[in-house]
Amino acid sequence: GQNIDQPTEMTATEGAIVQINCTYQTSGFNGLFWYQQHAGEAPTFLSYNVLDGLEEKGRFSSFLSRSKGYSYLLLKELQMKDSASYLCAALDSNYQLIWGAGTKLIIKP
Amino acid sequence: ETGVTQTPRHLVMGMTNKKSLKCEQHLGHNAMYWYKQSAKKPLELMFVYSLEERVENNSVPSRFSPECPNSSHLFLHLHTLQPEDSALYLCASSQDVTGVDEQYFGPGTRLTVT
């Protein structure tokens, strides 16, 4: 079956760096998405990776290793507003999105 | 209005009621989606429409009935729901259904079935 695994919850300190991991098992692969969802709000797009490597976008970076079925989202210089759930989703061979359950990130002062 | 809007934001209904959720996108997109989001579970794709035609129906119970009158509007008609249907229902849109386009989500309707 198809599956996405990511930690349920993580805690980090304001100003620090945190890495949220995601492993995927899909029938074929056409890329991986990260979305951010604040409590009670809509998910919003953060990144899309289809090639191996690191893509940086301001304080957020996303990494992909296709051979390992692995991605991570790296958040630097954490701010309180980064407290949210981070959703990982992989695109399978049929271009269907397979979603993870999300990682709730708690930022402490 | 910009982006994707959903009404109502909150809905409480009994198991014998009939209600409808509404979604509207102001982005000129061709694809629209309904998702169910339950606590600590992955997003469940319910329906996908491309240019008003349904292209995906992931074995959703018939008590959920979608309608897409045009590429900007999407409805989810609800009838004789069960308590386990209580969840956040999210609408999303994307430029096309190719999958590689980012999806833009509405704020969701928090549904409680009593």
Closest residue to A42, CB basis, from B40, B100, B108: B108
User: How close, in Å, is residue B15 to chain A by CA atoms?
Assistant: 24
**For residue B32, what pLDDT is reported?**
95
- The DSSP result for chain A, as a single string, is --EEE--SEEEEETTS-EEEEEEEE-SS---EEEEEE-TTS--EEEEEE-SSEEEEETTEEEEEETTTTEEEEEE-S--GGG-EEEEEEEE-TTS-EEE---EEEEEE-
Testing the interface with A: which of B4, B89, B98, B102 to mutate, by most A Cβ within 10 A? B102
pLDDT confidence of residue A30:
94
Condensed to tens digits (0 to 9), the pLDDT of residues B85-110 reads 999 999 999 999 888 899 999 999 99
- Whether residues A91 and B99 touch (CB distance < 8 A) is answered with yes
Residues of A in Cβ contact (< 8 Å) with B99: 30, 91, 95-97
Mean pLDDT within B39-65: 89
User: Residue B57's pLDDT band (boundaries 50, 70, 90)?
Assistant: confident
Q: Which residue of A has its CA nearest to B110?
A: A40
pLDDT of residue B1: 58
pLDDT at B40: 87
pLDDT, chain B, mean: 93
pLDDT of residue B93: 96
Distant-in-sequence, close-in-space partners of A56: CB < 8 Å, separation ≥ 6: none
B38: confidence class by pLDDT, cuts 50, 70, 90:
very high
Closest-CA residue of chain A to B106: A42
Minimal CA separation from A55 to chain B, in Å: 16
**Which pLDDT value is given to residue B53?**
85
Q: Give buried/exposed letters for B59-82 (b at 16+ CB in 10 A, else e).
A: ebeeebebebeebbebbbebeebe
Q: Does residue B43 register a pLDDT over 70? A: yes
Instruction: Using an 8 Å CB-CB cutoff, list chain A residues near B45.
Output: 96-97
- What is chain A's pLDDT, residue by residue, as a tens digit (109 residues)? 789 999 999 999 999 999 999 999 999 999 999 999 999 899 999 999 999 999 999 999 999 999 999 999 999 999 999 999 999 999 999 888 999 999 999 999 9
Whether residue B17 is predicted with pLDDT greater than 80 in this model: the reply is: yes
B107 interaction partners in chain A (CB closer than 8 Å)? 40-42
Counting one residue from chain A and one from chain B, the pairs whose CB atoms sit within 8 A come to 48
Chain B residues within an 8 Å CB radius of A33? 102
